[in-house]
Amino acid sequence: MKHLMYYLNYAPDDRKFKYAGFLHAQSSGVEHYATNANGDPGSIWYEPDSGTNHFTVSAYTVSAGLAAHVAAAKWGTCAP
């Protein structure tokens, strides 16, 4: 996500809208599936933490989850 964010910082405006739906979907996946009871984004973004799906939280997963939310806020479908 951080590499896409870097691209979108410098891309022409007409190319940024192409990614809005994707960015929104990623942020939604993090919010609805990848966040554990403590609010930490984990390693699995396609289903909730079930205790059997190897859901892990690390500095990488937290930064990736945060990047998904930041990208969606800046260029996603809800961005101004």
- Of 64, 79, 72, 67, nearest to 24 by C-alpha is 72
Confidence at residue 49, expressed as pLDDT on a 0 to 100 scale: 64
CA distances (Å), origin 61, targets 1, 6, 10, 14, 75: 11, 19, 25, 30, 21
Can you tell me the mean pLDDT for 14-28?
88
Confidence at residue 43, expressed as pLDDT on a 0 to 100 scale: 80
Cβ atoms of 70 and 9 within 8 Å: the answer is: no
**Residue 77 neighbours by CB distance under 10 Å:** 14
Enter the DSSP assignment of 37.
T
pLDDT greater at residue 53 or residue 12 = 12
pTM exceeds 0.85 for this model: no
Confidence at residue 23, expressed as pLDDT on a 0 to 100 scale: 92
Confidence at residue 40, expressed as pLDDT on a 0 to 100 scale: 84
Which residue ranges make up each domain of the chain? 17-60+70-80
Can you tell me the mean pLDDT for 12-16?
84
